[in-house]
Structure 1
Amino acid sequence: MTGSAEDEYRVVAAGVEKAFGANRVLKGVSFTVRRGTATAIIGPSGSGKTTLLRTLNALDRADAGVIRVDDVELDFGTPVSKPDVRRFQSRSGFVFQGHNLFPHRTVLQNVIEGPVFVQKRPRDEAVAEAVALLDQVGLADKQDRYPYQLSGGQQQRVGIARAVALKPQLLLFDEPTSALDPELVGEVLSVIKDLAVEGWTLVIVTHEIQFAKQVSQQVLFTDDGLILERGTPDEVIGDPKEERTRQFLDRILNPL
């Protein structure tokens, strides 16, 4: 599989396999993500959603298959070097379920960590951009606070600002609202919607079905390590073709 930065696709995955011991979590998954679009990955617990997302940043290295993110391609059927993995990982920013902020560093220090110490960018430049990002996510007045002084929603917004500060080609979100109290979910989803409107390329694992419908141009429904259905939100969520997709959505959207 070949490609270049000029291609219309920001992500191309082909035949991605991943197992943990005897458990085959991904079974030859293939899909593409167009640049400047949002893709939502939905499906039941244990269907492989998070593992699939983590392979896109090599947090979990695939056992087989090829993944290209922007201009960097890894063929997991061959030995992959650490420098190649670092280049691959530098193309994306990852927003975790549980914030993963450095507890002993302020909000501002958390956001500038990657640009200054990983990307070796000038500190003054990184600070100015971090302050602007914190303003964008509604936390301009929190830059000197520590994570324990913030709500869960505020911590997650800091996590988003930290990922965006790296200026990646791709932003990956792993259930970004799953650890939040219900009243805090909206503030985080609003920030992600703004990023989608700005034209960032997003891949979002989410259980917020209505949010997936509103923000994404593509929805992937996963089950048992496979992508069973893909298409626009209207196709997959509004008029699913697969019985398994219909069962899942009915259970989520029409709980007893």
Structure 2
Amino acid sequence: MTDYRVRAENVRKAFGDHEVLKGVSFSVEKGSVTTIIGPSGSGKTTLLRALNALDVPDAGVIRVGDVEIDFGKPVSKDALRRYRAQSGFVFQGHNLFPHKTVLENVTLGPIVAQHRPRAEAEAEALELLDKVGLTDRRDHYPFQLSGGQQQRVGIARALALRPKVVLFDEPTSALDPELVGEVLSVIRDLAVEGWTLVIVTHEIQFARQVSDQVLFTDNGVILEQGPPAAVIGNPTHERTRRFLDRILNPL
């Protein structure tokens, strides 16, 4: 039996009169990498945020890890809390606490939200900082770090929650070009280690290299989904072909 870490069925979300997600369905297998690509305004970030209820869907059923919610019915705060605890979120703009050190940023969630002992949380945080190459920055503050280093702290912070799936919202879009590689390298390592990842990205070649599944979204729907060799290498929709041609052949 396939172990799905994410299953979404007919997910809908509107902001005012603008329907951003128009009945989206997909699934993510344990230990796999799913990338979501598409033009700006296509709904890809809203879809990712729905998986953590940062944007609570208006309708649809989503299962993340061990928790399933029917968003077409009233949802309790406790159910939302358990749902959000299934995933870790890496934001586009780092979102670190500026007045806390690197180590404090990584341990805050496990200590405050999960009530884990400080010594245990700090020991695990140091292991994660080693994984992302930042052990020597443990006592630094965010303003003392480069953008790439801040994003790697954000990744360690998400992993510290021991999530069933890690969600990345365009993790390199706010970085200077020379810093992109260090963040993508960390994400590649996580993929090799078997973490379940869902990544919104505009890095098409990266998506081609690391993905087990690619979703192409446009105008609130998934137009195309499948392995990268199909969606990126041989897309069937004209809209997908035009998007990829513009990205891969900009001149």
What's the TM-score bracket when you normalise by the shorter of the two chains?
over 0.9
Q: Does residue 1:114 correspond to 2:113, yes or no?
A: no
Q: Deviations over 1:109-151 (max 9, x none)?
A: 0000001111000110110111111111010100000000000
Unpaired segments of 5 or more residues in structure 1? 1-5
Partner of 1:179: 174
Match of 1:244 among 221, 239, 246: 239
User: Given residue 162 of structure 1, which amino acid in structure 2 is its aligned partner?
Assistant: R
- Equivalence for 2:155: 160
**What letter corresponds to residue 61 of structure 2 in structure 1?**
V
- Report the counterpart of residue 197 of structure 1 in structure 2: 192
2:70 counterpart letter in structure 1: D
Q: Is residue 134 of structure 2 the alignment partner of residue 139 of structure 1?
A: yes
In structure 2, give the amino acid aligned to 1:242.
H
Moved over 2 A (4+): none
Counterpart-to-counterpart distance in 1, 2:63 and 2:206: 27
Aligned twin of 1:27: 22
What letter corresponds to residue 169 of structure 2 in structure 1?
A: D
- 1:89-108, CA deviations, whole angstroms, 9 ceiling, x for partnerless residues? 00000000000000000000
SS at 2:232 equivalent: helix
Give unpaired runs (5+ residues) of structure 2.
none
Match of 1:211 in 2: 206
Task: Report how far residue 70 of structure 1 moved.
Answer: 1.6
Q: Equivalents in 2 of 1:34, 1:242: separation in Å? A: 25
Once residues 132 and 70 of structure 1 are traced to their aligned partners in structure 2, the CA distance between those partners, rounded to angstroms, is: 24
Change (3 A) 1:70 1:113: same
Q: CA separation in 2, counterparts of 1:59 and 1:7?
A: 27
CA RMSD of aligned residues (A): 0.7
Q: How many Å apart are 1:7 and its aligned residue?
A: 4.9
Q: What TM-score comes out, normalization by structure 2 length?
A: 0.99
Aligned length: 251
Q: Deviation string for 1:201-239 (max 9, x for gaps)? A: 000000000000111100000000000000000000000
Match of 1:130 among 110, 125, 130: 125
Match 1:150 to one of 145, 151, 176: 145
Question: Which of 48, 64, 68 does residue 53 from structure 1 map onto?
Answer: 48
* Secondary structure of 2:46 counterpart: helix
The one-letter code matched in structure 1 to 2:179 is L
* Identity %, equivalent residues: 74
What TM-score, normalized by structure 1, do the two folds share? Answer: 0.97
Are residues 1:41 and 2:36 paired? yes
